[in-house]
Structures are given as C-alpha cells and as structure tokens.
Structure 1
Amino acid sequence: MTTSVSRSSNAHHGLAAHEVVLLLQTDARDGLSTAESAARLARFGPNSLPAAKGAGLLLRIVSQFHHPLIYVLLASTAITAALGEYVDSAVILGVVLINAIVGFIQESRAEAALEGLRSMVRTQAMVVRDGRQRIVPSEDLVPGDLVLLEAGDKVPADLRLIRLAELRVNESALTGESVPVAKDEVVLPDSIPVADRRNMAYSGTLVTTGAGTGIVVATGIETELGQIHRLVGAAQTLATPLTRKLAEFSKILTVGILGLAAATFAIGLLRGYDAAETFTAAIALAVGAIPEGLPAAVTITLAIGVGRMARRRAVIRRLPAVETLGGTTVICTDKTGTLTENQMTVRAVWTPAAGYEVTGSGYAPDGSLRTTDGAPASLDGDEALRWCLVAGAACNDATLTSDDGRYGILGDPTEGAMLVAARKAGIGADHVSQFLPRTATIPFTAERGWMATLHRSTGPTADTHVLLAKGAVERVLKLCGAQMDADGTSRPLDNHGVLTAAEGLAGRGLRVLATAVRPGSDEFDEETLTGSMILVGLQAMFDPPRPAATAAVAACHTAGIAVKMITGDHAATATAIAEQTGLLGRGAGGDGAVLTGTDLAALRADDFPDAVDRAVVFARVSPEQKLRLVEALQSLGHVVAMTGDGVNDAPALRQAGIGVAMGAGGTEVAKDAADMVLTDDDFATIEAAVEEGRGVFDNLVKFITWTLPTNIAEGLVILAAIVAGAALPILPTQILWINMTTAVALGLMLAFEPKEAGIMTRPPRDPGQPLLTRALMLRILLVSALLVAGSWWLFQWERSSGATLAEARTAAMNLFVVVEAFYLFSCRSLTHSAWRIGLFTNPWVTAGVTVQAIGQLAITYLPGMNTLFGTAPIGADVWLRILAIAAVASLVVAVDKRLRRPA
C-alpha cells in the first residue's frame, strides 16, 4: 500500500495510540506485512547510524608535515644535500621524520565516538509481522513496525508505547535521569521534554523490568539517538590553547628565520663572498634559529604529564588535553556520580512520634539511627519506626551485594537505600524473608505511585498476614486512614502534619517516600487498600556528595575556575547538591543562578551567553542544550572542561576544550568522545588534573624560555660574522650538535620539574595571552645578546691569542653549551631564584648536566669527533674564560629576574 508516514518521532508522544496507528498506516495487533516492511525499508533505509568518512592513511601521514617550521627544515634538508653536506642533511631529515612519527602515533581518533553510537543500535528485535512474532535484525526495522519489549532488551528504535505491563526503562545514558523511568500510555503535551515522555521508548535505552509493545515511529538518524549522532558529527574538535599558540608562534618564528636567512645571503653577496658559501651560511642560520627540539620537548613534556595524571586516576586520550586542563577557566560538571557518590542513602526517618537522622553514606551498611538530640534510636521505643524500616526492606525488589567489602545494589537505587537503612537498625533482608515471606505483590506504576506486598507472618502471630506499602507521599496517604504511634496503637491520620513533615524533608533536597502497614488481613487488591492502611513513617534519601567534592570545588574557586553543574536531574535536587558542595551559597538559588531546560529554551539568542555565564546550575537540560551551553561559554572566551557519562553528553564532550568522561560508570560513547577519562568518576580528580595541567604548561614555557636564546643567538652570531666579513664562529654541524644534544640532555629535564608552590592559588591564564609574556620575551632577548656578545668576544680573543680556527670555534661552541647549562637552573622557575627553589630539588637536571658535560668533553677531545665536527682540543685557561662568561650571564639574568618579579 502507499504510505506517507514520517520518520520523525517529535510529535508522536502527543497523539493517542490509535492516532499513531492510523498515521503510520499499521496494525496494532498484526503489525506490517512482509511486503510492506520491505517497501518501507527500501524507502527509509536501514535502522542504523551512518558511518562518517575519516581522513585516509596517506592524508594523515602527509598532514604531519603541514607545519611552517617543518617546511623550512625540509627545504634545508634538500639544499644541504644538493651542496654535498650529507651529514647535515641526514641529521635535519632525521629530526623531521621523528617528529612526524610521534605526531602520527598521537593523532586523535575522535570518529570512534560515532562508531560507539552506531554500535548501540546493533541488536535483535522481536517484531510482529503478518500477525506472527519473529526476530529480525534491528537494522531491518521500519516506521510502523510493531515491536515487543521484555526486561533486559535494548530498545531498537524510537517507539510509541501502546500496551505495557509494569514497564520501566533505564534512560540514564540518553537523558541523565538517575533512576529507571516507569512508562505508561497516557497522551502527553507536545512541548514536554524527552526526559518526561513516559509514553515513548527511545533507541539505545534498556528495559529493566516489565514488558511492553510499541510502534516504531523513527529509525536510524531520525531517532533521538540519531539527533545526538548529528550533534557529535557537527561538534568541532577545537585546537587547544597550546596548539593555537604554538601555531601562531611558529608562523612568526618562520617569517623571522626566513627574513634573517635572506638578509644573511644578501649581505654576503654584497660583500663579494662566494654564493655557495654564503648560501651555506644562510642555511646554517636557518637551521640554527629553528628550535628542532621543541616538537619533541612538547610531546615528551605532555607525555610525562599524562603519566602523572594517570597516577592521580585521570587517563588522557589526547596529549594536548594535558595542557588544556591547565588553561581551563570553566568546568561544567555532571552531578550524579561526579559530585555525588551515585549511591542513594537514607538520611532521615520520620514517624508520627519522632524524627531520626541516619548516619553513614552509600550502600555500605555502616552507620546508625539517632534521635534529633544525638541519642541512639531504639526500635523498642518506637514501634512505628520498626514498621517503617520493615516496610522499606520487605516491600522491596532490590538486593544488597558485597564483593570483597565493596557494597552495591542490584535493582532500584531508592529501594537499595531503604534496604541499607534497615540493615543499619539491625533488620536484614534475610531476617525479613524468614519471618515475613512474601506471598503476593502489587507492583509500582507511574499512575499508581506506590507498591504493595502481602506477607505471611511466621513469628509469634503465625498464620496471620501483613500488608506493606511504600511510595510517593501523596499517593500512600490516600491508602491510609490512620497513623501509628510509638507504642504501636493507631489514631486518626493527621494528613496536614504528614505533608508538612514531608515538605520539610524535601526542602533539604531529599527524596521522600512514605511507608504504611495493615496487619491481620489477607485481602489484597487496590479497591480494599484505599483508606484501610496505617501510615508508619517517611524515609528521606538522596545521593550524597563525594567527601572530596566540596574541597575540590573550593580549590577550583581559589584557582579562579568557575564550576557549573549541568544535569538531567530535577532542579530541587541539583540545587541541594550545589549548596552542599559549595557551588551555591545557602539560599542562593535565585536571580538566575539556577536555570532549567525550559528556562534556557525561553531565552533570546542575544541573552543566552550572558545568562549562561551568570548561572551555576543547569537542570533538566537536553543534549542540544548541553552543546549550546558549551558553545555559549566558548563564545565568551572561556576554555571549557566538560564532564559527562552518557550518550547525551557526547556532543558537548567533543565540542568542549577538554571532554572528561567517567571511566567507572560512563558509556563507551562518552569515553570515545572525551579527551580524558576519570577512572574513579570523582570531581576531585578533575581538580587534581587541572593542577597537573598547569604544571605541564609551566614546564613547557620554561623549556621555550630556555631554548629560544640559543637559537636566536646562533642565528645572530652567523649574521654578525657575515656583516663583519669574518669567519663563522660556529659551523652548521656544530650548531646541530648544540641544538640536539642540549635539547635532550638539558632542556627535556625541565619536563620533570616539580609543580611550584601556589600553582592553584593563581587565576587561570588568559586564553588570549600570548605563549610568552613581554617580560619573558625581554629575558630571552637579554640572554640571546649575552650569548652573541660572549661567543663573539671569546672567538675573537682566541684567534688574537694565536688559537687555530678550529680551537676558536670549539671555544665558542662550548660557551653556548655552558651558558645554556647555567641558564637551565635559572629557568627552573621563571619568577624565583634558583637558590630559593633549591639547586638539587630536580635530580634530573643534575643528571642531564652531567651527561652534557661528558658529551662536550667527547666532542672537544676525541679525535674522531674532532674530524666529524671540525673541533679541536682546548686548554684549561679557555675553560676558565668560558665559566667566567657563563657566571656573569647568570648574574645578569638573576638581577633581571629580581627586578621583574611581581610584587
């Protein structure tokens, strides 16, 4: 038959079931025919998410050479080879190839996030076609198919539910809802958000209990999961602050190097030098001015940071993310499992006679019940308390598990919390099942709002029955006509008093459930329950904050980093956790500090960024809104770290400056989209990673500040020789020796430099700030001038004292290295003196200087190296002059550092 069905599921929750059947031209009993399903499959395509086309292998390899400095090095390689300088050419080419290999290995594979999304919908589905049940691959589903769901099934497409039996679906990965959602068939308003569409089941979610039947209303890219797929594909993987700054720095450096080389060549020609020799000098200047060790130093420094973070339970998936953390200005964090323990805990119990506090946290049954004045609670003193706890433990389908002392829950988290509360009072599940075995159940549904169980008493009152119930306060109150006093007697229900108590507990951000009992009767149906039960108490619970979360949030605030909560949970719960962790002050939830998804949707585009910047808590937000929040903050210049664990978080994770996924409770999609994975899902680990990231950036800046003076001075000393018409003080091979050996033996030792004190008390770096500040650039130029002046004077002194050209060049080369070694100790801190931080607090620096010293002795005194590098042995008096010049240079740098030190 001809059909005009649509693949979009946006409006089907607002239609009655029979209207959906008519719209999709299907049958609510027999489903589609085989022929019609085949026709629709040909029309709509398979129920799968499209694969994205990634860059080919060759393109990925070629892209590793797409860098201005690499262009200069490649040109230098070709020219030196053409001039017969094969040693120089081979060394330069080796540097280029090593950098390319490292870049290729470390390249991010962000498309794995899309593959993770596609794998979520690859499953089998039970459908009804031609009036018969059959199992088909989920890829073959089409709009109008009739799908049967059972506990444990993964929902294969977006479904409008038309029949169900106690169906609950875990939608946490899609919506952020922390507990399974009870489904029903009721027609809902068109504007209701995805998280509240109880008559829909969405692709990729999981059926936890019950059964149901639904009509496929959307497949493939048109599903809610498909919309997220679109967002992940559209989200850009941004360049990190470091890569952007290095790119800008490299362009400026390349232009400067080429300009100096061209000037050198032109001046040489004007002075009548041989063109080939002049060109060789220009190449020597270019190679000398390029910091060949910089790419390797960046990679190794970041890799060391990765190792440090791994020891602090943060696994880095992309190396540049290490540095990005250090520049973070805003952390957007999830609530459940990140700021909280993701373990529901009963914190208070109220009975008609008294109120009690429950100590302990999480699912471990460690703690006790205490009265409001701190005294231990007695079950003998309050019969209502005993029955409240018994009802919570017996009218319950969850199971408390223990594995090597680590407790967990199988089932609903709220039921698990009630099991643990009973255990803390000495009422275990085994005790309940022995003395109150269950004989019948009325399960929880969204319409009902409560659960009831019938038990046979095997204790002193054998052959009697006890009926227990628990659920939403308002719904359970409708079942009750009385309430229990402490002595176990009943009196008329004080409906207002119970609601007042429940509101007080809810005001503390707690989720409140009521419990009721009816002893001595085996009548068990909904009609006879209403008004016949006795209210015994309220249990109030919440997911407690992690112990370290409050201190971590405070540390971020001290460091000038804003922390914002983005959650799919309700605003009241989110606000309570925000207050307890220090994100919000007590009672500070107004004036735009807390915004819901509905609030965000109502904002004008022009007002959106500022409103997002002011707000601290965002509740009940959709995946699209999460992405918009990140983009809005980035539009204001923020470097955003985004945390998440669900499929719905993937687009925002990829868009953020650094995406942080949960390792223990997160989905594979979120992990693949993220730059960093927390193995313990703890917000405190993010704060620790930010601290490590700041240390990594500091060490990178220290290396650049240390290495650039040598490169600049090498270029300038060659230029000076050409201008003066003198012999070159250092040869190209000697320049390569200096650059490569000192970068490895000296400069890389700064990667192991410990973090400086107070690193988390200073504000974040301004994202617009250049890589090197004006003060550091002046220091680099100062050291460059000292190197040029010192090496030129020493070279001329040695020549005038009768030294050979090779001896004079050897002296100048060693001067460069020794000054670098002295300057290395100064660069261990860019603000404080080497004496203040301790000369030997980084043993790697001492080891590196020792290795470099051995290398310099070898190139100076070994005949084979003399031949290869054009060096010659020098006397002890020359070494004394070298050390004296290095000491003077160090003193000048120390004075400059002291004068420029911030107040």
Structure 2
Amino acid sequence: VLVQLENEQKKSDEIASTIVKPFVSETLVEIPGLKNVAETSFQVPYEIGIVRQFPFSSTVQRMSVIVRVLGRPHMELYCKGAPEVIQHLCNPDTIPENFSSVLNQFTVQGFRVIALAHKKLESKLSWHSAQRIKRDKVEKDLTFLGLLILQNVLKPETTPVITQMKAAKIRTVMITGDNILTGICVARDCGMVDKSEKVLLAKVGKDDEGHYLTFDTAHSGGFTDSIETSQEKNTTRINMEKGENYHIAISGQCWTLMREYFPEYIKYVVAEGTVFARMSPEQKVQVVEEFQNLNYVVGMCGDGANDCGALKAAHVGISLSEAEASVAAPFTSRVPNITCVPNVICEGRGALTTNFSVFKYMALYSIIQFVSILILYTACTNLSDPQFLYIDLFIVTLIAIFMGYTKPN
C-alpha cells in the first residue's frame, strides 16, 4: 500500500515522507542488529519510507528512489530504467553472462523490458544529505536485481487502421522510446512492416580510420545474431539511391551519431525509415522536421509529455489523452486509440474538396455573368434588376445549399 500525505500536511511537515507497507494486516519485524535485550520485544511495523525520488527523465532513461526501512540504520537506493542504461551503472560482477541474450529473447517478441538495480547506501548519509545529493553520486556501482517483463498488447483497433492507411497510400512510421527490437516486433504485428519484408538496423561504429555506417539485417524472429553483429559477418550493402524494398530501423543513439558524422544520409534513412526507437523528445521533434524537409505533410499521434514537442512541430498533432499532450496538440481524441486518425484525414480532405468546389463555382459564376453582360452590351441591352435578383436569390442560393449537402468523395 502506498500512503501519501495530503497537500496541506506536506506543507506543514516536509520531513514526513511517503510510506510503503504491506497491503494485508500489519506486519511486525525485529529491528536488525538489536541483540542481547532481555525480556523486551523490540518489533516495529514493516514500513518503507521514500526519502527522495529522482524522477524519470528521457535524457537519462531511468528513475530512482532513496528509501529507508523502519528500524534500519542505513538507506537504500532502488533504480529502474532502460536495460542498456542500467547495465552500465551496475557492478560488472553482478551482471549475468546471458544478459544480452535474455534481453534480446524478450524484446524480439515485443515485450517491454525494464531493468532493476539496488544499492545499499552508507549509514552516515542523513536525511538532509539525501535531499541535496546529486543523482549521479548515488546511481553508480549498483547491484543488478533482474529484468521486469511487461507485455504491450496491441489494441484491436490498431491493425485495421494501419491497414486502412496503407490502402490509402498513407505512410505510417513509429517513433518510440522503447527498445528497437520491441519496436520492430510491434511494427510487424500491427502491419507497418509485412512479415516478408526486410528490415535493416542502422548502426554507426568506430575504428582506427574513424566512424562508419552499416546496416544489419533483421529477420522476422529477430536479428540473425545479437545487436553487436560484426561488420564483416552480417552487413547488407544497399544502394540507397535506387530505393530498394526495405525498411530501416534506427535508435536514438545512432540518430545522433548520424546527424553528426553522416548528415548527408539522414534524408535517405528518413525516406526509408519505419521504426525510430529509443528516441528522446528532442529527437522526436528532429524526426518530424526531417520528414517536413522532404515535403511530407506530417501528422503525429501521441499521449505523453514526451510527445508534446513533436505534436507541436507536426502539421497536424493528435493527442490520444487529455493529459499534457492535449495542450500541445490542436486535436484531442475522446478515445485512446488511433481510430480518430482516418476521421481527421477524411474531414480534412472533405473540407479541402468543398473549399475548392466553392472557389471554382464562384469563379465560374462570375466569369459566366461577366461574359453574359458583355454579350448583352453588344446588343445595347442589359439584365433588369428582377433578373439579377432572381439569379442571385434562387439559382445561386439553391446551388450553394446543395453543395453544402454534398458528401466527401
């Protein structure tokens, strides 16, 4: 059970912290390290106080909490985040040898994987010191605990909408903060990438001669080897000028390196890219802007605070929630799925078609009336006032009414 203080109580007593305790009946535990106390029971409730929270940041891709169990003389740190980030923060001795293989095993199946780590802090760390300490001072030399596996089930409306968009020749891409293998699996499941289509993973490496760009082949069941496939063993040579039938998947780290060392290839990657994974909010904005530089009309769907920048940068932003994203997006969906996207497109195309029809009608009507009057002037005559009134009141009004009832094609 998570017990949080009310706002008024927080203001009056800032030292009190959020408490986590068992959901069932009160559990009593012995105070650790307390010995040789005769005939006295020193049991305390099992409660964990959250001393400080380091909130999640898309830049560091992790969050942490400093906690203290009631009765213990020291505090502890618990951290969760992207597996590749937590791996570098942990003591290498605590990382299992099969870490990469197990991670790939779950990510290629479309699971969302979160790594967990722990650290026992020094007993001399006080409450006031914990409030001032920087996160990089404590988020190091962690003990790896394990992987938390979460399943993201596709909403039943997603695949039919993606299929409808592809049938309408509307290109769909994925920009996500998840693992790139998870993104590829979800893209195949929802129909962005057909089961038989080829997916290439963009990688930027470095050797003695400098940085190089490679594309490793991904198959339906995952990569032929691990992510660290060697350049000589599994590199697919492609001619990006000819536009072969393939999809490109790229991570946020590779995106940054490409913009720095291979900016001339960015437009080709964007033109063929389908999965943009591990993207920060700034990188999502950059991807949207690159599509716009290729003269795409970009529509963006998002439901979180990390999507606000991209929703604002896109030509059409659609928020799938009424939280932070709805502030930046001009459209907010009442349903938390992408069924609203075809409706927005149809409404936009219908409005555009109506506008063009009205413009063409008004232009043609003016030209016809102008030519008619010129012809009448040659015969030294003109339309009378009742005739002008009849044309404007009956003919024009009726046509305008029926044009308003015309449905989009």
| TM-score bracket relative to the smaller structure | 0.5 to 0.7
Asked if 1:729 is matched to 2:383, the reply is yes
For residues 761-817 of structure 1, the C-alpha deviation after alignment (integer angstroms, 9 at most, x for no partner) is xxxxxxxxxxxxxxxxxxxxxxxxxxxxxxxxxxxxxxxxxxxxxxxxxxxxxxxxx
> What is the correspondence of 1:668-687 to structure 2 with a 5 Å cutoff?
670-687=325-342
Greater helix share, structure number: 1
Q: CA deviation at 1:547?
A: 0.6
State the partner residue of 1:547.
Answer: 156
Q: CA deviation at 1:555?
A: 0.9
Aligned partners of 1:150 and 1:210 also within 8 Å:
no
Larger Rg: 1
> What is the correspondence of 1:727-766 to structure 2 with a 5 Å cutoff?
727-731=381-385, 735=388, 738-739=391-392, 742-756=395-409
Q: Find 1:561's aligned residue among 144, 151, 170.
A: 170
> What is the correspondence of 1:629-644 to structure 2 with a 5 Å cutoff?
629-644=287-302
Take 1:169 and 1:744, find their aligned partners in 2: how far apart are those partners? Answer: 61
Take 1:447 and 1:661, find their aligned partners in 2: how far apart are those partners? Answer: 27
Take 1:704 and 1:448, find their aligned partners in 2: how far apart are those partners? Answer: 55
TM-score (normalised: structure 1):
0.27
| Structure 1 pair 683–729 and aligned structure 2 pair: CA distance change class (3 A) | same
Take 1:631 and 1:678, find their aligned partners in 2: how far apart are those partners? Answer: 23
For residues 701-749 of structure 1, the C-alpha deviation after alignment (integer angstroms, 9 at most, x for no partner) is 3444444332211111122333x15211354x85466346555433243
State the partner residue of 2:312.
Answer: 654
Q: Find 1:688's aligned residue among 312, 330, 343.
A: 343
Aligned partners of 1:149 and 1:211 also within 8 Å:
no
RMSD of the alignment, in Å? 4.7
Aligned partners of 1:166 and 1:445 also within 8 Å:
no
Take 1:623 and 1:596, find their aligned partners in 2: how far apart are those partners? Answer: 13
State the partner residue of 1:590.
Answer: 200
Asked if 1:620 is matched to 2:289, the reply is no
State the SS of the aligned residue for 1:590: strand
For residues 685-713 of structure 1, the C-alpha deviation after alignment (integer angstroms, 9 at most, x for no partner) is 21233233333333433444444332211
Take 2:392 and 2:300, find their aligned partners in 1: how far apart are those partners? Answer: 39
| Structure 1 pair 730–632 and aligned structure 2 pair: CA distance change class (3 A) | farther
Take 2:98 and 2:372, find their aligned partners in 1: how far apart are those partners? Answer: 89
> What is the correspondence of 1:390-789 to structure 2 with a 5 Å cutoff?
445-446=78-79, 503-511=104-112, 540-586=149-195, 588-592=198-202, 593-601=248-256, 602-603=258-259, 604-664=262-322, 666-667=323-324, 670-722=325-377, 724=378, 726-731=380-385, 735=388, 738-739=391-392, 742-756=395-409
Task: Give the total of aligned pairs.
Answer: 285
| Structure 1 pair 496–630 and aligned structure 2 pair: CA distance change class (3 A) | closer
State the partner residue of 2:219.
Answer: none
State the SS of the aligned residue for 1:504: helix
Aligned partners of 1:706 and 1:747 also within 8 Å:
no
| Structure 1 pair 626–688 and aligned structure 2 pair: CA distance change class (3 A) | same
Query: Of the two structures, which has the highest relative contact order with CA contacts closer than 8 Å and spacing of 6 or more?
Result: 1
Greater strand share, structure number: 2
State the SS of the aligned residue for 1:541: strand
For residues 641-675 of structure 1, the C-alpha deviation after alignment (integer angstroms, 9 at most, x for no partner) is 112233443333233221111234x31xx323322
State the partner residue of 1:353.
Answer: none
Q: CA deviation at 1:590?
A: 1.2
Amino acid at match of 1:509: G
State the partner residue of 2:128.
Answer: none
Aligned partners of 2:17 and 2:51 also within 8 Å:
no
State the partner residue of 1:89.
Answer: none
Q: CA deviation at 1:594?
A: 1.2
| Structure 1 pair 638–743 and aligned structure 2 pair: CA distance change class (3 A) | farther
| Structure 1 pair 749–169 and aligned structure 2 pair: CA distance change class (3 A) | farther
> What is the correspondence of 1:138-287 to structure 2 with a 5 Å cutoff?
165=51, 167=53, 169=55, 175=58, 194-196=59-61
State the SS of the aligned residue for 2:200: coil
